[in-house]
């Protein structure tokens, strides 16, 4: 049997040092908004939106509020109260159940494809994320510039398994949704009849017996012979070593996406209370503002005083 190979693209070769721009203009970061052709979709739920979404809305969401969409089976009034009115139309309510069955997960994914097709004239990419992910949007924009989304059939992500998935007589790689996935416009047009309307995608998942992130890879491999393009700097919560490497925490600077779960969070001292997954702290360290630096000074002073008392 011929093995399905992944295509690997590494963004470290890019010549643009986007960090130097932000660090040189740290006082302006909070008001800096990126212009790009990427639709960013955040999937949340009635159980996750209240504890998880506020920190996202106050950190990486701010880079592209006009290009970011939210899908939830929870109360949309929560977002209406926390977002300017101009972004209310970017909040989509679904009727998908809360459970993690194949049908329920694929229901959520189907809604994401529908949001794209409803707004496709404005975007060359669909990149979807969960509500327990940090997305370094400037790096994502820079990374996707190397591709031609109108010409290339691109399915970009990162596997969570060391071996390809095997089933139905084939083997294939799939990118875990926990690390984020990007689809090019040309690929979305190619698979439109497979994922839209919503019932088509859900029924396809049920037929294959795979959840959403696995089924989309299976569909692309079997029907179109399209393989996963691996983005090495997309990261998911299964990569626990990314967060526990205390000797070289600078590798987080290169991450385009970071997935969190339970204790799998960066090994930083949080800079504020209720910092879910330490996203505020991470955002502050990557893109410091005056308020961030004030909190860092307070934390360093506290650490110093504790050290003095012990000595």
Tokens of 270: 């949080």
Please classify residue 9 by burial: count the beta carbons closer than 10 Å to its beta carbon, then call 0-12 exposed, 13-18 middle and 19+ buried: middle
Q: What is the pLDDT of residue 25?
A: 43
H or E stretch at 22: helix 18-24
Q: What is the pLDDT of residue 244?
A: 76
Q: What is the pLDDT of residues 224-233, one digit of tens each?
A: 999 999 999 9
Q: Which whole-number Å values give the CA distances from 148 to 38, 84, 130, 143, 186, in the listed order?
A: 13, 33, 25, 12, 9
Which of 21-30, 177-186, 261-270, 286-295 shows the highest mean pLDDT? 177-186
Q: What is the pLDDT of residues 199-231, one digit of tens each?
A: 999 999 999 999 999 999 999 999 999 999 999
pTM over the 0.85 mark: yes
Measured CA to CA, the distance from residue 110 to residue 222 in angstroms comes to 19
| Domain annotation for the chain: domains and CATH numbers | 27-267 (3.90.550.50)
C-alpha count within 13 angstroms, C-beta hemisphere, residue 164: 20
Q: Provide mean pLDDT across the span 47-59.
A: 96
Centre a 10 Å sphere on the Cβ of residue 195 and count the other Cβ atoms it contains.
24
Q: Which whole-number Å values give the CA distances from 4 to 7, 171, 267, in the listed order?
A: 10, 6, 36
pLDDT band at 250 (very low <50, low <70, confident <90, very high): low
C-alpha count within 13 angstroms, C-beta hemisphere, residue 288: 13
Quote the percentage of the chain above a pLDDT of 90: 77
């Amino acid at each position: 049997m011929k093995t399905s190979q992944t295509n690997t693209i590494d963004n470290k070769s890019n010549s643009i040092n986007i960090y130097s721009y932000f660090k040189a203009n740290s006082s302006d970061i909070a008001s800096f908004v990126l212009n790009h052709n990427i639709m960013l979709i955040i999937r949340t739920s009635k159980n996750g939106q209240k504890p998880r979404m506020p920190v996202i809305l106050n950190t990486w969401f701010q880079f592209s509020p006009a290009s970011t969409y939210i899908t939830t089976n929870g109360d949309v009034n929560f977002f209406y109260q926390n977002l300017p009115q101009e972004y209310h139309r970017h909040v989509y309510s679904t009727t998908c159940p809360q459970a993690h069955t194949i049908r329920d997960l694929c229901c959520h994914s189907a809604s994401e494809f529908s949001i794209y097709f409803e707004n496709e004239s404005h975007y060359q990419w669909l990149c979807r994320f969960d509500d327990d992910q940090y997305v370094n949007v400037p790096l994502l924009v820079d990374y996707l510039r190397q591709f031609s989304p109108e010409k290339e059939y691109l399915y970009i992500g990162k596997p969570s398994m060391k071996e390809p998935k095997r089933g139905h007589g084939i083997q294939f790689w799939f990118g875990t949704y926990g690390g984020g996935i990007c689809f090019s416009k040309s690929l979305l047009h190619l698979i439109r009849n497979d994922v839209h309307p919503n019932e088509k995608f859900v029924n396809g998942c049920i037929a294959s017996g795979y959840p959403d992130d696995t089924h989309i890879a299976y569909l692309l491999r079997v029907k179109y012979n399209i393989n996963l393009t691996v983005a090495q700097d997309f990261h998911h919560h299964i990569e626990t070593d990314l967060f526990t490497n205390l000797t070289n925490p600078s590798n987080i600077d290169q991450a385009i996406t970071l997935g969190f779960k339970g204790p799998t969070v960066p090994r930083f001292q949080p800079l504020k209370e209720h910092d879910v997954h330490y996203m505020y702290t991470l955002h502050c360290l990557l893109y410091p503002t005056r308020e961030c630096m004030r909190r860092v000074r307070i934390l360093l002073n506290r650490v110093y005083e504790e050290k003095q008392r012990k000595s």
